[in-house]
Structure 1
């Protein structure tokens, strides 16, 4: 308890701060266990705050989007799915406000980042175990209340998924945690033993991320490094990364002369360049199963109902009727929002996120872990351009906590600015 009480921000209650930290630590392993602690932390984070949430202008887009989402449910294609689908959004709008007291200070964000890293150890270990030692589930806890369905050899076969249902979801989590792990590794003040422990964890996490065979994850491995290390490293780091990636680009890009491409493909592992240019799927994937086909149908659906949308999860019902292929979502978050809830909601939420990223960056990121925090969310946002990992509740919770931290990072005066006005006696 003494350790958990350290670094508590001034606005956070002691009990809420303890629940918040323990919830973050357990979240990667179990959404249920993490939520059982993060929910009371959220209640504590809202209790005793004498100002309403609508006094913060950053909450206005969320309040307006909530109203439009609820209104759209009454005319949804499938009202049952539409009302249930609100659970992926409106509770997290509340969390954006309620979690801010726990990420107000740089030290609080640093501790939160380290707890996410430490809590991800089971994800890495089980993922490597399923590929290297054939570990398989289901594993049960609390009499079957918590079940981990882990396939030997990964899911899909040969791709690391660990405690997640699918390799791409595991990749999204590891990609999010990677910048936080890198910050933990290069931070100052660690003794040799602690740095060695973090180094081992960082290496294993990178190996696990590579083994997910997610192209988005592989891209995140490279993108994260210069962003976390910051501009002082760019004069030497960016040329080094460019030289390192040159053989990969020569091996993958179409139109490269064979005299250059053949030596590059000899140097680069075949599994890497084949996965990057999708050559192992040549002749197997029909046009209707590609992202382009999904996005084309998505745009048609948006054009038919642009204002309030079709309702949450409507894409999974309508797409098979129009193409004969099944996909659970549109593989693009702005499109998914526009289909489900209409263009105004999509513009409000996407604009809100982009504006928060830009403003927090322009206001200045005060230190290593703030850069890593910003990078973790930025990477997660980019992943949602071609996939929707937020449908996993663990990623959704973590993403909104990161977003709450961005809001807090450029508002150290928030506690004073939002306090109720008092009579000065004038």
Structure 2
């Protein structure tokens, strides 16, 4: 039987154009949403055109259609309908993508290739981020008109943001590519006997560069939540490989930083050992001038009040901002929790429907993972599925403390990860 990781060219040459434009889009999208977006739009519409009847015949597509209809209905009844209408593009392209791309990703070779594209892009993205922080590199004004926006010394100042809109946005992008790179590295190393030595060394070198570069980039984004998620991801791979010593070392390292940050005794000694960059960020001593209105707890309280006042249809997409401004007299783009935001903006039924759709894909993916766990012939597929699940679940956990919807590059990357997992379900069938 031919491996599912073999090239798909002989199986579905009709999707070669989709693959080419997708590759073009994925490579350029982080640097310019305008230019890269052209490739992704062409790939998406080409896939819909070629597989329209297959796509609309799936029950999964109809569930996405019901959710889309719910979003439209809530727009009509929104607190500020114009804002809600502007919020639809944060969802509808991803929904179209999620309906179509499981068909494309039903061949695991393409999943393998997609992970490589993201990882290779991240090397350049993090590299230019180091130039941004260290030497104040920035993009010329002419380039900014087409979305190529590199700000000197990051956004906010002193935190790496590279070409993305904010440091936290870059952080989640690098976290995803960091975890994908680890999964690919493990796969190449496991099957090193099957490859030419030069090819194997070359791939491991590139992936090692990606893991180190992305890891350092994560540190310089100064995102506490992503630091924690990266460590959880590393420990998840350690459990997968039964390398429990990695977990012990990670716990010791985290314990030392926590000790330096909050322990009532021996704190001075630990603070001499641990760089202040880490423990001052944990204690928020780097940003000790925050107003109450800038705290997540304040934002979450307002979001909960919105849910209680409009539990059925919500206030409408993007309407947290005007409500928060009315309540607190401060502009705030979102409540730093995707699920609270959705409950407040599209109501409880719509949010539960969305969570049900996403949760079902994850459940099916985990079920496949369990079923493949004892099948030697599925060893590579098992690792690839595990890698995608860890990457997407990290994205979900990140959205408990932030919202990735508002940067189209990270937003669509999340939809692609979910499509990839759904595609593996199609492989199983």
TM value normalised by structure 2: 0.88
Report the equivalent of 1:170: 170
Contact 1:106–1:370 under 8 Å retained in 2? no
Deviating more after overlay: 25-34 vs 126-135: 25-34
Q: Whole-Å Cα distance in 2 between the matches of residues 118 and 50 of structure 1?
A: 31
Shift in alpha-carbon separation, 1:8–1:311, aligned structure 2, 3 A: farther
TM value normalised by structure 1: 0.89
Q: Whole-Å Cα distance in 1 between the matches of residues 356 and 19 of structure 2?
A: 30
Equivalent residue for 2:32, pick from 27, 30, 38? 30
Q: How many residues align?
A: 404
Give the secondary-structure state (helix, strand or coil) at the position aligned to 1:402.
Answer: helix
Report the equivalent of 1:125: 127
Equivalent residue for 1:265, pick from 267, 271, 274? 271
Shift in alpha-carbon separation, 1:105–1:357, aligned structure 2, 3 A: same
Contact 1:9–1:104 under 8 Å retained in 2? no
What aligned pairs does 1:252-331 form with structure 2 within 5 A after superposition?
252-253=261-262, 256-259=263-266, 261-282=267-288, 284-331=289-336
Q: Whole-Å Cα distance in 2 between the matches of residues 228 and 410 of structure 1?
A: 22
- Offset at 1:191? 2.5
Give the secondary-structure state (helix, strand or coil) at the position aligned to 2:316.
Answer: coil
Report the equivalent of 1:397: 412
Equivalent residue for 1:191, pick from 200, 203, 209? 200
Q: Whole-Å Cα distance in 2 between the matches of residues 168 and 176 of structure 1?
A: 13
Contact 2:303–2:344 under 8 Å retained in 1? yes
Higher share of residues assigned helix: 2
Contact 1:8–1:17 under 8 Å retained in 2? no
Q: Whole-Å Cα distance in 2 between the matches of residues 214 and 226 of structure 1?
A: 19
Report the equivalent of 1:333: 338
Q: Whole-Å Cα distance in 2 between the matches of residues 205 and 231 of structure 1?
A: 21
Report the equivalent of 2:222: 213
Report the equivalent of 2:397: 382
Contact 1:311–1:341 under 8 Å retained in 2? yes
Listed as ranges, the gaps of 5+ residues in structure 1 are 415-426
Q: Whole-Å Cα distance in 2 between the matches of residues 7 and 14 of structure 1?
A: 9
Report the equivalent of 1:112: 114
Give the secondary-structure state (helix, strand or coil) at the position aligned to 2:31.
Answer: coil
What aligned pairs does 1:229-240 form with structure 2 within 5 A after superposition?
229-240=238-249
Shift in alpha-carbon separation, 1:358–1:67, aligned structure 2, 3 A: same
- Offset at 1:325? 1.8
Listed as ranges, the gaps of 5+ residues in structure 2 are 1-5, 193-198, 373-380
